[in-house]
């Protein structure tokens, strides 16, 4: 019997092994995972040799082109975006800002930048950015010093205020004032070396934001192998708050805050997987709300439930604000 050793805390005793299937794309390939009984980190036993199969360019969400990649930063749309940012981040242009924000669904990233007290000229690195959807949205809102890296994109991308390189994290040398990994850290094999490299790339007195699925989750406990947060085999590690604290202690980061930010996706996607519905099926809620198996009331109930779970630190997805002294 092979000993299952946790790559985070080293525990080898009583770790729970299970089989997880690829459900997002419907391949249904099987993969061995285990949950560390000591630190709570879920991890894949062996990473598949051909991971490109599980990141198809025609379907995987991070490779889809964004409409915000087209307008110039000098466009009317970008001018409106800057007014919205001035209002939401700094309380400026109160009349015009209030007008432009009426009916505007405020992106979550405003919370991140407000929390770290960032200005528009802050140097930002987005690791695992795909085709740069987030970076282009930030450009629309006035940020001017934006870089991304992703080894899986087709080629480098250059635009006003945005540069995205087809390369890996360890190829970078420059330093940044804010680094973010939005649901990319769980896709990386070498967790501690990655955090150590990020520590090197971050300027002193600056923040690293890591947003990841977490095993401290109601849906993991209730849906088990059907939990959408597993996302086998793309997710190599699904941390708990405890396992993240272990990694941060080893890499020199201080955890300043943990904000649970899960959405109703935790429920409806898990429920679909339990019913044998892949994410991109015709009757998936992701593709067609009309054809999906869920009523408006069910979705609203899921949204209410996940908000309550986030307050209890059990939502299943969290933002870790890591600080470098």
What are 147-200's pLDDT values in tens digits? 999 998 989 999 988 999 999 999 999 999 999 999 999 999 999 999 999 999
Q: Tokens at residue 176, please?
A: 């940044």
Are the C-beta atoms of 176 and 146 separated by less than 8 Å?
Answer: no
Q: Is residue 84 part of a domain?
A: yes
Q: Is residue 248 part of a domain?
A: no
pTM above 0.85, yes or no: yes
Q: How many structural domains is the chain composed of?
A: 1
Q: Is residue 270 part of a domain?
A: no
Backbone phi and psi for residue 211, each to the nearest 5 degrees, phi listed first: -110, 125
Q: Is residue 136 part of a domain?
A: yes
Q: Is residue 125 part of a domain?
A: yes
Domain span at residue 73 reads 53-188
**Which ranges of the chain have pLDDT less than 50?**
67-70
Instruction: Report pLDDT for 20.
Output: 98
Q: Is residue 292 part of a domain?
A: no
Identify the H or E element spanning 238. Answer: strand 237-238
Q: Is residue 37 part of a domain?
A: no
- Helix pair angle (76-90, 133-140), 10° resolution: 80
Q: Is residue 165 part of a domain?
A: yes
Instruction: Report pLDDT for 152.
Output: 86
């Amino acid at each position: 019997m092979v000993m299952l050793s946790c790559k985070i805390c080293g525990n080898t005793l009583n770790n729970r092994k299970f089989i997880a299937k690829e459900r997002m794309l419907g391949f249904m390939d099987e993969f061995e995972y285990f949950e560390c009984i000591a630190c709570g980190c879920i991890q894949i036993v062996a990473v598949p040799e051909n991971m490109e199969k599980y990141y198809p360019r025609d379907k995987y969400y991070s490779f889809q082109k964004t409409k915000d990649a087209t307008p110039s930063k000098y466009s009317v749309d970008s001018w409106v975006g800057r007014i919205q940012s001035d209002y939401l981040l700094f309380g400026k242009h109160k009349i015009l800002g209030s007008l432009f924000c009426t009916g505007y669904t405020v992106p979550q990233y405003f919370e991140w930048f407000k929390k770290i007290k960032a200005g528009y000229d802050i140097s930002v690195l987005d690791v695992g950015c795909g085709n740069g959807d987030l970076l282009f949205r930030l450009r629309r809102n006035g940020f001017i010093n934006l870089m991304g890296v992703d080894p899986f994109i087709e080629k480098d991308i250059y635009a006003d205020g945005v540069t995205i390189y087809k390369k890996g994290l360890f190829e970078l040398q420059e330093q940044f004032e804010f680094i973010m990994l939005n649901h990319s850290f769980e896709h990386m094999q070498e967790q501690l070396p990655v955090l150590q490299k990020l520590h090197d790339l971050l300027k002193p007195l600056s923040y690293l934001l890591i947003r990841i699925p977490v095993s401290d989750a109601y849906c993991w406990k209730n849906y088990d192998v059907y939990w959408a947060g597993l996302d086998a085999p793309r997710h190599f590690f699904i941390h708990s708050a405890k396992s993240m604290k272990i990694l941060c202690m080893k890499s020199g980061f201080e955890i300043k805050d943990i904000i649970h930010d899960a959405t109703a996706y935790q429920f409806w996607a898990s429920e679909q997987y339990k019913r044998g519905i892949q994410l991109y099926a015709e009757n998936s809620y992701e593709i067609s709300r009309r054809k999906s198996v869920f009523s408006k009331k069910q979705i609203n109930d899921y949204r209410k439930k996940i908000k309550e779970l986030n307050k209890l630190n059990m939502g299943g997805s969290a933002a870790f604000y890591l600080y470098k002294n």
